[in-house]
Chain A
């Protein structure tokens, strides 16, 4: 498959994104393209369900949409006790989008790459969640919302007080501030790296399996794919739940 040849070349090829531009302004076209396509699919599916929503007997589309919505709604109700029009739809979007990203992982590693190379695209990395940009985009957005709601609910002064005067009282102000900053910054970083790490490792193992002789591959890729199904849903779920938890923490006034 690789133009460079050898196992290392194959792996590097698979993990290199299709990018344009240099330095910071480079764009990973594959990440942007696939996440946009998956996001559109998500939106169209749910829009379709919402338009046909009936209080009577629901169809298949509505059933699936309602199942997901009730699931997310239940999670939000369990952890978040305030009232917010944003959190539940945010949770739903994160869950479905990340789930679809991750689900790209079970598509055979060489299939889309092969199609891409036929179309003249040299590099193609199809799983958006193996791109740090994608996972950080989500977690930084969540982080901005955390800061926004902290200030909105507690006020600038209240939020500043929480940053400086907890957990050790006003006399330990610099230490408190340092602790709080670490605590807050750890949230988006852990969110993004957890998702990225799980999916990147999963993809890497699929690539390694693909390097093995053809007769062994199914023996390994089949159980790994089954195990990976769990990771796909679990990571999407964790991302959503932690987002809800962080945001409800931001809403709590101490």
Chain B
């Protein structure tokens, strides 16, 4: 149980062990630990940021959806209005066209009446002339009585 040179040998061994640990063991391991710590904290931060991004994107999507809905409603309203307009316009056009047709028909009718009247008058005047010829039994001098005949036919 005496203290002897073993002490010195042990001290040398110990010094070597400490030197080796200090030089080759401690730094790489502690560095790896630190780096991993950094990595993990970075990863956590990134995950958090990602979650926030998702939230933002969701909000934006909802906003876009709302906008799109409003726009589509707008478009539908516009289209309806336009359709109404078209219908009203075509109604108007049809009305005008119809009136025009009626007008034309009326004009034609009156023209035909006029023509019928004219031809009737002519026939009546010729009939009257014939009747008068027969009644008078003599040839009427057409040139002599032309003025008279015309007067009568105009009065008819």
Contacts and interface: CB of A to CB of B under 8 A. Distances in A.
Interface string B56-70: 000000000000000
B135 interface: no
Which of A21, A36, A89, A92 is the most central at the interface, judged by chain B CB atoms within 10 Å of its CB? A89
Given A32-B10, A133-B7, 8 more contacts: A24-B5, A35-B13, A47-B25, A86-B22, A97-B17, A134-B6, A136-B3, A138-B10
A251 interface: no
A132 B4 CA distance: 9
Q: What DSSP secondary structure best describes chain A's contact surface?
A: helix
Contacts of A27: 4-6, 9
B11 A88 contact: no
A90 B6 contact: no
Contacts of A140: 7, 11
A8 to B, nearest CB: 16
B13 A36 contact: yes
A55 B22 CA distance: 20
A66 B35 CA distance: 13
Interface in B1-29: 1-11, 13-18, 20-22, 24-26, 28-29
Contacts of A136: 3, 7
A137 B11 contact: yes
B21 A70 contact: no
Residue among B4, B6, B39 with the highest chain A CB neighbour number at 10 A: B6
Interface of A: 19, 21, 23-28, 31-32, 35-36, 39, 42-43, 46-47, 49-51, 53-56, 58, 62, 65-66, 69-70, 73, 85-86, 88-90, 92-93, 97, 128, 131-134, 136-138, 140-141
A228 B5 CA distance: 29
B20 A73 contact: no
Contact of B9 (A32, A69, A88): A32
B110 to A, nearest CB: 106
B98 to A, nearest CB: 89
How many chain B residues sit at the interface, stated as a range, is 20 to 34
A90 B18 CA distance: 6
A88 B26 contact: yes
Contacts of B10: 31-32, 35, 128, 133-134, 137-138
12 contacts: A23-B4, A24-B4, A26-B6, A39-B17, A43-B21, A46-B21, A53-B29, A53-B31, A53-B32, A62-B32, A90-B18, A93-B14
B21 A141 contact: no
B143 interface: no
Cβ-closest 4 pairs across A and B:
A137-B10, A133-B6, A53-B32, A89-B22
Interface string B27-55: 01111110110010000000000000000
A141 B15 contact: yes
Contacts of A92: 21, 25-26
A31 B9 CA distance: 10
A178 B5 CA distance: 29
Contacts of A31: 6, 10
B26 A70 contact: no
